[in-house]
């Protein structure tokens, strides 16, 4: 799939910009603070309704204005869709072909994006929240049902936590209501475990070879870490272990007023053989491992959806040596729409430049570079 047109209105430092993108490589070049990342962010938000910039996402409307709009024309195989998102201080609305879509879950599987950005190192170094977030975003784009399970799970979890707090404050001992909530929690939670496991198995079937080809180091694997002490990932086993954890830790959960077991506590790590990369790999190795993870995702999209996602590469080349840069680019097939930002065209291979459409970004204005 690819985005053929993009329009932003009062988004970050853009007043009104309209662009025609090509279906392979698009490069945005400009000095610092001109609006390069903002453009990638607008595409990411158009796809996923949320910003990739955690903690920086509350400020997307241009200063001094009350709402912003992002619009795009998406082409997927023979289909053409106009996607639009409008954001005001009070609400967010999404549209497909000018018809408002009320369920975000059915919107976000339309346009698939994978973002590569300098903050990605947090995927190894940061908190488990960062990794869960990545899983949720990617699996949601692949399987819309996952969003429903996740939303339901989060609602049940919130209820359960409130009830546990009540039990702790008021000394309730009747667990009948809790039994009902537990059943729902285990049901939705198990679906989430199964989908995450399937997804990480997929990643593991691809990531080792990609990393080896770029780094000449083999045996990179992702280890799924959850707190159920599972022996296997059969549905019945997950349910049994989940119930057991809830039952045997009730006292602890009441005293802490929160649910201590379940997919909301999931995590995963990058391992080379028996070593956790977080503690023993260099920054460059960690960076390439994360890039390999995302390249594996591209292959999963191709396989599962029969369509390539749009790749958003935010200034990632400046961090890599030339050899790694070239190897990485070899992994990006020509028929995948790729949108790249850079401060310096020297970071981009000549071969790639030849087929690319280049845009110059200057103080919230974009113009196409004539060849
Ligand atoms: N809501 C907003 N209204 C107006 N300007 C904003 C808003 N949010 C961010 N900006 C400005 O947009 C400018 C461009 O930001 P952006 O992150 O896109 O820069 P960049 O070109 O990617 O720079 P760098 O090369 O340093 O990464 C920044 O100066 C920022 O202050
Ligand atoms: Mg930037």
Pick the ligand that lies closest to the CA of residue 14: 1
Are both 68 and 30 inside the same structural domain? yes
81: how many CB neighbours lie within 10 A of its CB?
Answer: 14
Distance 132 CA to ligand 1 centre (A): 27
pLDDT at 275: 96
The CATH code of the domain that includes 228 is 1.20.1050.90
pLDDT at 55: 73
- Closest ligand 1 atom to residue 63 Cα is 3
Domain count along the chain: 2
Are both 260 and 148 inside the same structural domain? yes
Q: Which protein residue's CA is at the shortest distance from atom 31 of ligand 1?
A: 33
Residue-range definition of the domain harbouring residue 288: 120-305
Are both 136 and 35 inside the same structural domain? no
| CB 34 near ligand 1, within 6 Å | yes
How far apart (Å, rounded) are the C-alpha atoms in residues 288 and 207?
11
Are both 99 and 221 inside the same structural domain? no
Mean pLDDT of 334-359: 89
| CB 30 near ligand 1, within 6 Å | yes
Are both 108 and 157 inside the same structural domain? no
Distance 322 CA to ligand 2 centre (A): 21
Q: Answer yes or no: is pLDDT of 72 > 80.
A: yes
* Ligand 1 pocket test, candidate residues 13, 67, 116, most atoms within 8 A of CB: 13
- Closest ligand 1 atom to residue 39 Cα is 18
Are both 76 and 142 inside the same structural domain? no
How far apart (Å, rounded) are the C-alpha atoms in residues 232 and 234?
6
The pLDDT tens digits for 158-199 are 999 999 999 988 887 788 999 999 999 999 999 999 999 999
The pLDDT tens digits for 271-312 are 999 999 999 999 999 999 999 999 999 999 999 999 999 999
Domain end position, chosen among 305, 321, 346? 305
Mean pLDDT of 226-241: 96
| CB 13 near ligand 1, within 6 Å | yes
| CB 51 near ligand 1, within 6 Å | no
> Hey, what are 27's tokens?
């490069």
Distance 314 CA to ligand 2 centre (A): 7
Domain end position, chosen among 273, 305, 337? 305
Q: pLDDT band for position 335 (50/70/90)? A: confident
Q: Answer yes or no: is pLDDT of 57 > 80.
A: no
Are both 209 and 228 inside the same structural domain? yes
Average pLDDT, the chain: 94
Q: What angle do CA 349, 351, 355 make, to 5 degrees?
A: 115
Are both 216 and 300 inside the same structural domain? yes
Mean pLDDT of 43-67: 91
| CB 63 near ligand 1, within 6 Å | yes
Q: Which range among 82-91, 141-150, 206-215, 320-329 shows the weakest confidence by mean pLDDT?
A: 320-329
Are both 104 and 125 inside the same structural domain? no
Q: Strands 310-314, 113-116: parallel, antiparallel or unpaired by DSSP?
A: parallel
| CB 52 near ligand 1, within 6 Å | no
Are both 92 and 241 inside the same structural domain? no
Number of alpha carbons in the 13 Å side-chain half-sphere of residue 267: 12
Q: Which protein residue's CA is at the shortest distance from atom 25 of ligand 1?
A: 32
The CATH code of the domain that includes 66 is 3.40.50.300
pLDDT at 366: 98
Backbone Cα Rg of the chain: 22
């Amino acid at each position: 799939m690819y985005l053929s047109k993009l329009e932003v209105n009062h988004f970050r430092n853009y007043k009104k910009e309209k662009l025609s993108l090509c279906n392979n490589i698009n490069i945005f070049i400009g000095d610092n603070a001109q609006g390069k990342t903002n453009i990638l962010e607008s595409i990411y938000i158009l796809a996923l309704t949320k910003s990739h910039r955690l903690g920086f996402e509350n400020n997307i409307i241009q200063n001094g204005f009350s709402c912003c709009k992002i619009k795009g024309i998406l082409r997927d195989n023979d289909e053409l869709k106009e996607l639009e998102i409008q954001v005001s201080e009070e609400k967010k609305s999404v549209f497909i072909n000018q018809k408002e879509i009320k369920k975000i879950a059915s919107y976000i599987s339309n346009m698939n994006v994978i973002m590569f950005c300098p903050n990605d190192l947090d995927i190894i170094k940061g908190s488990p929240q960062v990794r869960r977030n990545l899983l949720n975003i990617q699996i949601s784009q692949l399987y819309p049902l996952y969003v429903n399970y996740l939303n339901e799970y989060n609602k049940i979890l919130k209820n359960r936590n409130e009830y546990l707090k009540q039990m702790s404050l008021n000394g309730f001992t009747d667990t009948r209501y809790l039994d009902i909530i537990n059943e729902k929690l285990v049901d939705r939670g198990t679906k989430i475990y199964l989908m995450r496991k399937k997804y990480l198995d997929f990643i593991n079937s691809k990531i080792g070879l990609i990393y080896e080809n770029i780094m000449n180091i083999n045996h990179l694997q992702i280890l799924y870490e959850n707190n159920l002490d599972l022996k296997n990932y059969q549905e019945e086993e997950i349910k049994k272990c989940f119930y057991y954890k809830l039952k045997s830790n009730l006292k602890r959960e009441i005293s802490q007023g929160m649910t201590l077991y379940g997919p909301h506590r999931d995590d995963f790590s990058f391992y080379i053989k028996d070593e956790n990369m977080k503690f023993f790999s260099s920054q460059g190795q960690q960076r390439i491992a994360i890039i390999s993870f995302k390249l594996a995702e591209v292959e999963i999209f191709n396989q599962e959806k029969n369509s390539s996602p749009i790749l958003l590469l935010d200034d990632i080349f400046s961090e890599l040596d030339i050899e790694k840069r070239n190897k990485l680019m070899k992994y990006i097939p020509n028929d995948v729409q790729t949108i790249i930002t850079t401060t310096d065209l020297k970071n981009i291979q000549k071969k790639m430049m030849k087929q690319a459409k280049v845009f110059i970004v200057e103080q919230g204005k974009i113009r196409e570079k004539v060849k």
